[in-house]
């Protein structure tokens, strides 16, 4: 993938980070979510045919759901499928304290994306900090917030290109802004089937029996993909470094070390594995040490 032209990169550099297609990975998602996304991509690819009947593909999507479920990963993956760079702007960094400055920052961002002249996918992360419900106009701060919201509304409508916004706080999003998105997709915590696939992906090249993966997936009910990934990678790090470093490599010792060093956020559900530790049936039946598959895995 060709890099963005230098002037384009420079104009965006203090407001956004640019992610390129070659670094994207496909998140593991539930079937309905995958279906909705495939439909959207197909529509974008069919832009020419749609134009013949005066239709445009939908260009604005909102992803909402708990932290660490793959919203950013998904936006990057979708941009990659379209062969475009993803321009990641953090909405919380556009919010400023001087009156009018937030609206000016929003305008400057959209302007920089447009002026670059190269198609990109614009990603507005932490979107709740910009799009949260309007305040009372009685205070200067409330009026300023409404001004920012109106700017976002106008810019979203006028923007010629794909825009994806993401938030953990869907309840906070202003309703008028919500409606401006033609697609609203909930990226929920993974179900048992997805957890199993996530375990398999992040434990590779170590291989486990399907039954072992299923019972681990059960013990990880309530965990986000990000937490599962962290846990798996910790185990793998232990398996590689531990023997050389002289650590206790017995199964229960390795598992307990991992559970002590990685934990879900206190506001989130604590999966069973963290409650029971090495006494969990999923661990009791875990063949140890895990076997390593062929390279590439």
Ligand X SMILES: Nc1ncnc2c1ncn2[C@@H]1O[C@H](COP(=O)(O)OP(=O)(O)OP(=O)(O)O)[C@@H](O)[C@H]1O
Q: Under the criterion CB under 5 A, does residue 69 sit at the interface with Mg ion?
A: no
Radius of gyration of the chain (CA): 22
> Residue 72, interface with ligand X (CB under 6 A)?
yes
Q: Which does 19 bind (CB under 5 to 8 A by kind): Mg ion, ligand X, none?
A: none
Contact partners, residue 116, CB within 8 Å, separation at least 6? 4, 5, 7, 8, 11, 12
How far apart (Å, rounded) are the C-alpha atoms in residues 79 and 122?
A: 9
Measured from the CB of residue 202, what is the shortest distance to ligand X in angstroms? Answer: 7
The interface region with ligand X, picked from 61-69, 130-138, 154-162, 269-277 by CB under 6 A, is 61-69
Residues in CB range of 166: below 8 A, 6 or more apart? 62, 63, 64, 71, 72, 75, 123, 124, 125, 126, 127
- Of 27-35, 89-97, 99-107, 129-137: span binding ligand X (CB under 6 A): 27-35
From 32-40, 63-71, 221-229, 243-251, give the range in contact with Mg ion by CB under 5 A.
63-71
What is the sign of the dihedral through the CA atoms of 154, 157, 162 and 164?
positive
Q: How many residues bind ligand X, per CB under 6 A?
A: 15
- Considering CB distances under 5 to 8 angstroms, the limit depending on partner class, which of ligand X, Mg ion, none binds residue 85? none
**CA-CA distance, 208 to 200, in Å (whole number)?**
8
Least gap, CB of 38 to ligand X (angstroms): 16
Site for ligand X contains 69 (CB under 6 A): yes
Choice from 11, 68, 127, 271 touching ligand X (CB under 6 A): 68
Contacts of ligand X in 190-229 (CB under 6 A)? 198, 225-226, 229
Report, in Å, the least distance between residue 42 CB and ligand X. Answer: 21
Q: At its nearest, how many Å lie between Mg ion and the CB of residue 109?
A: 18
- Taking CB under 5 A as the criterion, the residue among 72, 162, 230, 238 binding Mg ion is 72
Nearest distance in Å: CB 282, ligand X: 20
Q: Which residue is nearest to ligand X (CB)?
A: 70
Name the binder of 116 from Mg ion, ligand X, none, CB < 5-8 A by kind: none
What Å distances lie between residue 233 and 32, 159, 196, 227, 261, CA to CA? 28, 40, 15, 10, 12
Part of the chain binding ligand X (CB under 6 A), chosen from 8-16, 44-52, 69-77, 107-115: 69-77
Where along the sequence are the contacts to Mg ion (CB under 5 A)? 71-72
Applying CB under 6 A, the residues found at the interface with ligand X are 27-29, 67-73, 168, 198, 225-226, 229
């Amino acid at each position: 993938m060709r890099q963005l032209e230098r002037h384009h990169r420079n104009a965006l550099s203090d407001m956004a980070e640019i992610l390129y297609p070659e670094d994207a990975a496909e998140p593991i998602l539930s079937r309905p979510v995958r279906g909705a996304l495939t439909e959207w991509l197909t529509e974008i690819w069919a832009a020419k045919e749609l134009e013949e009947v005066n239709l445009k593909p939908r260009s604005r999507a909102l992803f909402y759901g708990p932290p660490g479920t793959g919203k950013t990963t998904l936006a990057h993956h979708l941009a990659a499928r379209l062969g475009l760079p993803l321009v990641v702007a953090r909405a919380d960094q556009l919010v400023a304290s001087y009156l009018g400055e937030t609206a000016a920052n929003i305008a400057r961002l959209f302007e920089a994306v447009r002026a670059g002249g190269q198609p990109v996918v614009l990603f507005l992360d932490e979107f709740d900090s910009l799009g949260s419900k309007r305040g009372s106009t009685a205070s200067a701060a409330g009026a300023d917030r409404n001004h920012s919201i109106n700017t976002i509304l106008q810019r979203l409508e006028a923007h010629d290109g794909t825009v994806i916004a993401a938030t953990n706080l869907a309840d906070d999003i202003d309703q008028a802004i919500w409606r401006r998105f033609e697609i609203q997709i909930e990226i929920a915590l993974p179900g048992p089937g997805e957890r199993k696939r996530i375990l398999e992906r992040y434990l590779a090249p170590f291989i486990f029996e399907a039954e072992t993966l299923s019972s681990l997936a059960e013990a990880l009910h309530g965990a986000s993909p990000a937490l599962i990934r962290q846990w798996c990678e910790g185990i793998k790090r232990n398996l590689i470094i531990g023997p050389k470093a002289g650590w206790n490599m017995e199964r229960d010792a390795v598992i307990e070390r991992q559970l002590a060093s990685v934990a879900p956020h206190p506001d989130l559900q604590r999966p069973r594995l963290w409650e029971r530790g090495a006494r969990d049936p999923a661990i009791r039946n875990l063949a140890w040490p895990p076997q390593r598959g062929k390279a590439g895995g």
